[in-house]
Structure 1
Amino acid sequence: MTREEFDLFCSALPATTNVVQWGNASVWKVGGKIFTVCSRWGAGQQDKISFKCSDISYALLIEQDGVIPAPYLARAKWVQRETASTISDDDLKAYLKEAHKIIAAKLTKKQKKELGLGA
């Protein structure tokens, strides 16, 4: 998944907003809270996608080659996909939907209602 494909996919999720920050990273939020980031860091300058995941997904994903605990966010159960060959695009989309859902669930009832996410 390229950064352009990443941005297009995330833009289709409900009530999302996008900002570019932290050295040109594409940061996606729901209700003002980050659920995923696409950035270029380190050697090779490949797109690296970080996202929030469940405790179980976190434990499973960090055991895979090419997936690491996300820098600065691992304590909150975030992972980072280091290369495009690590997680298939279809699986990545499912994880991004789940990340969106996890973060949206933490919003207040009022925020959810305002964003059209149900109460």
Structure 2
Amino acid sequence: MTESMGMTSEQLDELCANWPGATRSIKWEVDLVWSVSGKMFAIMCMLGPERGRLSFKVGPDRFLEMTDRPGITTAPYMARAYWVSINEPGEFSEIELSNHVRQSYELVRAGLPRKTQRALGVTLP
């Protein structure tokens, strides 16, 4: 992974493609959505004035810290579920964005039923 700024849809696809249970779809005609077992963990706007906006889930303990940062806002319609949006992803490194998306995937996956997690190969205590 490079130190480049921002993240393209191709980089997001490459990042998420091999994660257990991760699937790609287009929703609402403009958003590239990555989900695990039907639960969204990353959304990238592909068209229109918000093109490039990247949204993902964060833990409740990080929500206020994240939304206090310049360039990060509460995600439209999803803030109550602790989702944030990065409206100018070019202001953040690809590595930082990748880490946020990975943490979102792990948070969403951890919220799945134990049977589903086991089916994904997740080792549970």
TM-score, length of structure 1 as denominator length: 0.89
Q: Report the CA distance between 1:58 and its aligned residue.
A: 1.6
Dislocated runs of 4+, deviation >6 Å? none
**Which shifted more, 83-92 or 60-69?**
83-92
Structure 1, unmatched stretches of 5+, are none
- 1:37 equivalent among 40, 43, 57: 43
Q: Report the CA distance between 1:41 and its aligned residue.
A: 6.1
TM-score, length of structure 2 as denominator length: 0.85
Q: Which residue of 2 aligns with 1:100?
A: 105
Q: Report the CA distance between 1:73 and its aligned residue.
A: 0.2
Instruction: Indicate the structure whose relative CO is greater, using CA pairs within 8 Å and at least 6 residues apart.
Output: 2
Instruction: Tell me the SS of whatever aligns to 1:34.
Output: strand
How far apart, CA to CA, are the structure 2 residues paired with 1:117 and 1:86?
33
Pairing 1:68–2:73 present: yes
Instruction: Tell me the SS of whatever aligns to 2:104.
Output: helix
Aligned pair count? 118
Structure 2, unmatched stretches of 5+, are 1-6
How far apart, CA to CA, are the structure 2 residues paired with 1:76 and 1:41?
24
What RMSD, in angstroms, separates the aligned Cα atoms of the two structures? 1.6
